[in-house]
Amino acid sequence: MGILARLREDIATARSNDPAARGSLEIFLTYPGLHAVWSHRLAHALWQCRGFKLPARLLAQFSRFFTGVEIHPGAQIGRRFFIDHGMGVVIGETAEVGDDVMIYHGVTLGGRSLAKIKRHPTIEDGVIIGAGARVLGPVRIGARSAIGANAVVVKDAPADSVVVGVPAVARPRAAREQLGTLDSDRWVDPAMYI
């Protein structure tokens, strides 16, 4: 996929996930979550593909300064990833984020170990992570799951689950929590049912 096609896809993702979005130009110019993701793609290419680790870290820090979002250049981020509001988001070096994932402000995908191992979460496709949630350690969050605001997740969660609490507990989604409105294929906010 070319650069322009990827930018269009990102803008379309923002429009579909943010009811406050008013137009493509506004999204392109004013969405720090998108700017952080775009910067991360370049930093990740430097980090992984070309071995320029210092320039990759410098770019990541520059992006953090301007967007309030810190994504380590080593993190693997999928397509159509959307960070709503963005401020305070931290994504660690060994984190893996699938396609169609949406996270809100204040989310941490962090580690619990200082060892040089896989120490950050794996977030599968279609997951929504609520504001202020902490997902810590090499846990796996199953596809299409939803993590509630301010949850502290330290254990794996199966696909199609709702994860809430401190420490967080996973439960299966209820049937009414599966789909959004008729004109949307996005998952509804599970907090409205809790």
Q: How many domains does the chain have?
A: 1
For 134-183, how does the pLDDT look when each residue is reduced to its tens digit (9 = 90+)? Answer: 999 999 999 999 999 999 999 999 999 999 988 888 888 876 665 443 33
Say what the pTM is: 0.85
10, 38 contact by CB (below 8 A)? yes
Distances (CA, A) of 11 to 38, 105, 124, 159: 11, 18, 21, 27
For 23-59, how does the pLDDT look when each residue is reduced to its tens digit (9 = 90+)? Answer: 999 999 999 999 999 999 999 999 987 679 999 999 9
Instruction: Provide the H-helix boundaries in 18-166.
Output: 24-30, 32-44, 53-67
Q: Give the three-class secondary structure for 92.
A: coil
Is 88 inside a domain boundary? yes
Is 134 inside a domain boundary? yes
CATH number of the domain encompassing residue 162: 2.160.10.10
Is 114 inside a domain boundary? yes
d(CA 114, CA 127) in angstroms, rounded, equals 27
Q: Which domain holds residue 150?
A: 75-194
